[in-house]
Structure 1
Amino acid sequence: MTAPKAEDTSGAPPKNTGPTRRRLPRDTLSRQVILDAAERVAARDGLDSFTFQSLAKEVNAHPTSLYRHFRDKDQLVRELIDDLRARSYGGLLKATDSWREDLRTSARYIHEHYLRYPQFAVQMAARTTRRPTEFANVEFALDALLRAGLDEADAAKYLRVFGNVIRSLSSMEAGMLALDPETRDGDTLAWQLEYRRLPAEQYPRIAAMTGELLDIGDPTVFDTAVDLFLDAIEARAEQARENRSTPTEG
């Protein structure tokens, strides 16, 4: 007969004899593995809320192992934003013989990118990543603006304005997509229903044009904004050329 086991009177918690999650071997935790996991965690918890602890849990590693690849969360966020850009349109921006079409193509890629990752729109619009995809985008846009006929000072100014306008419009539409479906549908239907019910005596212009009003996500809005901006660049470049060719009175 087997003697009974002695009772444990130490007060220590019982040992966990169940299955445990094995941490990844050190050589399998690469920067890309971390970035892929960061995208999943940020999409679930929000880019502002996720931590190295939650990220380490996602990849089944110790938090300190992440610091071998990224100095801090800010560096990781900037790398993630640039990595998402690269996935969307990295290497696709190729200069043609039309500066207008090149800028239009750039705007379209950026717009589509924001709508693809709406949960990251605010951070993408606000951050300067200092990373390869961003550098390539700036180089591409500057080259197009110079080919339009602008001088370097104006090209640098319009680069900033063009980028801000495109990102602002794109993040606004992306923000709408990030709303819960009920809220989003309510806002969209307001332009089709509630505006049409407004009293004409109080809002005569709205009442006369309710059939023409567009909601935020209407695709023609973004395209029209890009066309207006390109028209303005062309007009200013033409004026600059005329000023340079006109002799000054001395």
Structure 2
Amino acid sequence: MSERVTAERVIPEGGRRRRRPTKQGAVLSERLIVETALRLVAQHGAEALSVRRLGAALGADPSALYRYFRNTDALLLALADELIGRAQEGWRATGDWREDLRSMGLRIHACYLSHPQAAVLGAYRTTGRPHETAAVERILGILAAAGFPAPFAVRAYHAFIDQALAFAAQDAAALALPKAAREADEAVWNSVYGRLSADTHPHIAAAFPLLAADMRGSGYPFALELLLAAMAVALPAAAGS
């Protein structure tokens, strides 16, 4: 979508509903556009995020999309917010702050990895949209209920969400690679690291079996546990400050 499209072309929420179905029989809506965009990005990558391709997939005149999104960036923010929302679907607080943050973080990571192409595009964006604001409120609420004072809670939130999104983006980027490139990267651990001499690389040689096995998966679950453990240690001092 052209970045020169002005805000005046975006129709207010109440006036957006398309009266006639698209050629495919669907009534155009923001949700339908977002879901279709996610599917196209998953199949064809970032280049699929265009008015022409979205219009064709929806069976709608491409110009109709401007009633919902003023440009490609606005649509991208909606995609990013949709991933955040999907990560929170079905989540319930247990009252145990460590378990609640653990489950929230793992949900975010898993959701982004289930949509790697979209995650690569949107994991680093701040959407300001409903799902994101709900997530920020929820995480800060968990920290407040645990007894963390606001100054520490804000820094803990920052560390928690940046860690989750950074790992999600990195792991999603690896999944988004072409299969041949992904397999070549994985093979390096055996073809290069597995052949390093103990004379020149003693620590790698000694740890290689463990290293090769561990590097096949994500480091996020362990990193998350380290963060939660550090927060638990800091809680008494933070609460007493």
TM-score of the aligned structures, taking structure 1 as reference length:
0.79
What is the RMSD computed on CA atoms of the aligned residues?
2.3
Could you say which structure has the higher helix fraction?
Answer: 2
2:64 — aligned with what? Answer: 65
1:13 — aligned with what? Answer: none
Flag the 1:134–1:205 CA change in 2: closer, same or farther, 3 A: same
Maintained 8 Å contact 1:173/1:216: no
Which whole-Å deviations, capped at 9, do the CAs of 1:188-244 have from their partners, x for residues lacking one?
A: 23223421211111111111111121454425x3221111000111111122234x3
Distance 1:34 1:50 in 2: 11
Distance 1:75 1:140 in 2: 24
1:218 — aligned with what? Answer: 217
1:3 — aligned with what? Answer: none
Larger Rg: 1
Identity percentage over the alignment? 34
2:237 — aligned with what? Answer: 239
Paired residues in the alignment total 220
Distance 1:57 1:116 in 2: 25
Deviation at 1:75, TM superposition (A): 1.7
Q: Gaps spanning 5+ residues in structure 2: where? A: 1-20
Which whole-Å deviations, capped at 9, do the CAs of 1:127-177 have from their partners, x for residues lacking one?
A: 112222112211111112223332101111111111111111122111111
1:1-250 equivalent positions in 2, closer than 5 A: 24=23, 28-47=27-46, 50-86=49-85, 88-214=86-212, 215-219=214-218, 221-242=219-240, 244=241
Flag the 1:25–1:103 CA change in 2: closer, same or farther, 3 A: closer
Distance 1:100 1:195 in 2: 36
Distance 2:89 2:206 in 1: 47
Flag the 1:25–1:105 CA change in 2: closer, same or farther, 3 A: closer
TM-score of the aligned structures, taking structure 2 as reference length:
0.82
Flag the 1:27–1:92 CA change in 2: closer, same or farther, 3 A: closer
Distance 2:125 2:173 in 1: 16
